[in-house]
Amino acid sequence: MGYLIAIEGIDGAGKTTIAKFLKEKLEEFGIDTIILKEPSESEYGRKIKSSNVRLKPEEELELFILDRKYNVENNILPALEKCVTVIMDRYYYSNVAYQGARGISPDFILEKNEEIAPKPDLTIILDINPETAIERVKYRGKRSVFEELEYLRKVRNIYLSLKSNEIVFVDANQKIEDVKEECLYHVLSLLSSRGSFLELKLRRF
């Protein structure tokens, strides 16, 4: 089986940048790697992304669950079974934080997701001040319905409350090169813990 690595954090934390960087580095080590982004391109994911107004919390969560089930069955598990490392640009902890910030129990959301989705081998949560994140997303053009300051503060607080043995937090307020270095260290630590073939590379890193 391949490794499942989730990159999480509020909008503007740098998830896509880090996912691309890690893919590039892992491929340098000869590790087949793909990036999968959520919401996906399923009919449910397209509905989420095309909405210009927030859906009701329960409806929004249902669409995310259906989209993730599709993604797991058609993309994530097939890749893992081929020994491809999968980097998720958002995964189910995003549901826990984002829909949890709208009043749905985070524990309930986590339970529903773990019924249908494999647990990551490593989850990197990029933690950033919401004010800084908002400044970053301004440069993207049109902001999404998920990018309001007070809402992101609630989302961040839920992220910070998460506890699981595969979760690590990285300060995304740092310079991007420092963020990249710290994230790569955690990924290489994971790979080295499962076998000796990367131990030398990790010691040299």
Edge-to-edge strands of the sheet including 4-8? Answer: 33-37, 85-89, 4-8, 122-127, 167-171
b/e code 158-177 from CB counts within 10 Å (16+ = b): bbeebeeeebbbbebeeeee
Closest of 92, 89, 30, 87 to residue 67, by C-alpha: 92
**pLDDT score recorded for residue 136:** 86
pLDDT at 143: 54
Residue 147: its pLDDT value, please? 64
90 conformational bin, left if phi > 0, alpha if psi -120 to 50, beta if neither: left
Given its phi and psi angles, is residue 191 left (phi above 0), alpha (psi -120 to 50 degrees) or beta? alpha
- Output DSSP code: residue 144: P
The β-bridge partners of 170 are 126
Q: Would you state the pLDDT for residue 196?
A: 43
The residue count of the chain comes to 205
Tokens at 92, concatenated: 């189910």
User: What tens digit of pLDDT does each residue of 80-104 get?
Assistant: 999 999 999 999 999 999 999 999 9
Would you kindly state where each structural domain of the chain is located, as residue ranges? 4-204
pTM: 0.91
Segments of the chain with pLDDT less than 50 = 145, 196, 200, 203-204
Cβ atoms within 10 Å of 109's Cβ, excluding its own: 23
CATH 3.40.50.850: does it fit domain 4-204? no
